[in-house]
Amino acid sequence: MSFAKAGLMAAAVVLMAPLGADAADEQQCADCHGKDGASAENDVPIIGGVSEQYLVDSMAAYRDSKRPCPETAYRAGDKKRPKTDMCKIAAKLSDEDTAKIAKALAAKPFVRAKQPFDAARAATGKKVHDAQCEKCHSEGGSLAEDEAGILSGQWLAYLKETFAQYGKGARPQPEKMKVKFNALKPEQQEALLHYYASQQ
């Protein structure tokens, strides 16, 4: 995530429902991101196990319409429910609800996606990562403590759409990252995707 129409929006649904408030809220989240945020959909990001701060910042970005907010349908449960989008849902959440959601999801394990990847591209991607990305996305992008999201084991399709949004300027980047990311050639970006996908 088209991915853009499903992936980021699906992420929105899980982040917005107050996890821990009651069983219905927890089920609403699971209906897009899977149980404990361990998404089984390749265009829906895995969000269980990422840092509280990253989740809070992500929700703020959606609330302020700083990220794309395409409509998406629920992936499980009552699929006849109306489609929704992340910006609308995030805007309805209080800071307290957002904090509860972030705390609940951060306490879950990050379950790496089992997915195909190109080994040769992955090897090249490791070199690109070590040279350009490791400083902020340490240990191969696997640490929640970096508060920059977890790249290691994330769905390739989701990351590919995110990269495309960065390239189009539709999703903001930290200035230091923007300089490095925008200097990458398309084949280097593709190699990075396969490197992160290879970490299973």
Per-residue pLDDT, 25: 53
Domain with CATH 1.10.760.10 in the chain: 3-106, 119-198
Residues 89-107: tens digit of each pLDDT: 788 888 988 888 889 899 9
Rounded average pLDDT over 9-38: 60
Burial annotation 109-148 (CB, 10 A radius, 16+ → b, else e) = ebbbbeeebbeebbebbbebbeebbeeebeebbbbbebeb
Residue that has been written with the tokens 């930290």 in this structure? 174
Average pLDDT, the chain: 87
Per-residue pLDDT, 26: 63
Residue that has been written with the tokens 């996606």 in this structure? 113
**63 and 52 Cβ atoms separated by less than 8 Å:** no
Residues 6+ apart with CB under 8 A from 128: 184, 188, 191, 192, 195
Per-residue pLDDT, 21: 43
Residues 57-66: tens digit of each pLDDT: 998 999 999 9
Grade residue 20 by pLDDT with cuts at 50, 70 and 90.
very low
For residue 191, is pLDDT > 70? yes
Query: DSSP secondary-structure letter at 37?
Result: G
For residue 152, is pLDDT > 50? yes
Q: What percentage of residues in the chain have a pLDDT greater than 70? A: 86
Per-residue pLDDT, 109: 97
Domain 3-106 has CATH 2.60.120.10: no
Which homologous superfamily does the CATH classification assign to the domain defined by 119-198?
Cytochrome c-like domain (1.10.760.10)
Residues 29-49: tens digit of each pLDDT: 788 889 999 999 999 999 999
* Cα–Cα distance, 196 to 2 (Å, whole number): 21
* Cα–Cα distance, 164 to 168 (Å, whole number): 6
